[in-house]
Structure 1
Amino acid sequence: MPGRLILAATPIGNVGDGSARLWEALATADVVAAEDTRVTKELAMRAQIRLGGDLIALHEHNEGRVAPRLVDRVLAGETVVVVSDAGMPLVSDPGYRLLTAAIAADAPIEVLPGPSAPLAALALSGLPTDRFAFEGFPPRKDGEKASALAELAAEQRTLIFFESPHRVAATLQAMVEAFGEDRQASVSREITKRYEQTRRGPLAELAAWAAAEEPRGEIAIVVAGRPAQAPTLDRLVAEALTRVDDGERAKAVVADLAATFGVPQRDLYAAVVAARSDR
């Protein structure tokens, strides 16, 4: 009987986020294929479990060579668990070539869902979550980055990016140039870890903050999509006044409308204040 290929999500920071199914799979697997075996050994030590079977490396430089051997072991009846350093394998991590090889061989495949940095950053952003796209790491070179972001300027879905800490300020500035200084965004760092932080605001404000503070750690950037068609300022003011009359706080309403429709929050707030004073 064939075994199983299991794609297992690991904690992105806090080991307490690992599921009971994850720990059981790691302890009982015939093979654990890890992006970095040292990271996986440390995770097992922190979780106080013992890894079962063979621990082998599966990364971008050896995946093409290792994948067929792992599929053969699954077909021979063994359980192979695939993990990345953090989060779900295949999402900006190795595993895709192994997965496609397993599908082609009709090998049984399962998933152990769990922590996900893109989804956590999206939830923290305060931006629309009904439609979104994960874009991974932007290109490193300035010209390629500018071109890639320009292609996304008209995207209406919320956009999620990863970025290295030493490039985050430059990337945010490139986003200002591609998306506009008032486009709402958020920067989350060290999600689930001790120094977790999320900053929200217009891209220009976030770019200035990143240049001054030089944030460190694992970073995710979430950017609002371009509004399909922003209502006129008068319509937004009228909606804001209606919501304020219903008991909502003016600043909260303005922040929500500005983020939803991609309009300058300062200008909208001033118009709302002026309209209230004219009543």
Structure 2
Amino acid sequence: MCFDCFKSMRDEFGAVEITPAIVEAARLSQEANHYGPLHVTIEDYNCGDSSLAFCADQKRDKWTDADRACLAAFEALNENERTHALALADGYLDASGQVAEAWREWDVPVEEIAAVEAEPPTAPRHCEDYLDDPTQPECLRRFLDYQCRPAALKYPTADEAFNRGMEEHLGLPMWRDPVPLLFARHEGRTVRVTLASSIGDVGITEDLDAQWGYSKRVAMEDLTDFTDERPEPRVVVKVAVDWNSPSWGGGNLGSPGGPAAVASHYRMLADISAPGIRGFQGNRAERRAAAARARRRA
């Protein structure tokens, strides 16, 4: 038995005083054959009277003197004392009945364990939790209502008798409405939700026309702005540019002058990338000075 299991038993049934009889039983349990007739007790910590009776009924030709002495010593103890004898033999307890030094860091008080278990979970919520949450958008709950149903209830057949039989067997009505859609926002992008997984996450894709498949799986908490209406596609605006306009400065360069300014700019870039300057590794002021010299040469 592991220390945690022994600790759970001790927390439930209480600690006992380590008597000479318990110390002797612990010693004899170490001498007995752990894979012999006493295995279920001295190896697996099954210390009830019924377990000892089971051990006593094992074939006598497998018994050693150490096995018989151990059985007699354990029969003289109650169940909790037998458990403590085995814990003493396994090194979980010291001779005074306290948790041994090597195991003290594992001996967490019951109160602390209860306090930790009472804390709200920090793991992401299962997607099915949102199905029963009335504060969630109706489009999200309807999508999950469909996605979380057994597959046999998602696709009604032409045989109504079969459909009714499946509904009675699975305890839910057959889905007869159109398949619900769900769109959301993820990291600033519009996505389509295509899957609600049984392990709690959902599948999403940026292909808003995709009915199946996903490019990423995320927690429900990572999505916002749920809707069942397909967002409008992005509008690409093309702007005509008059290349000869004095106000055009070569993209984001911000320098007026039209084609002449652009030609000067590209000559400057060509000079900066010349062999003599390309390998220059100076600081920022030096690089700017080098660029100024290149422009003067142009």
TM-score (norm 2): 0.23
Q: Which one has the largest radius of gyration? A: 2
Higher share of residues assigned strand? 1
TM-score by length of 1: 0.24
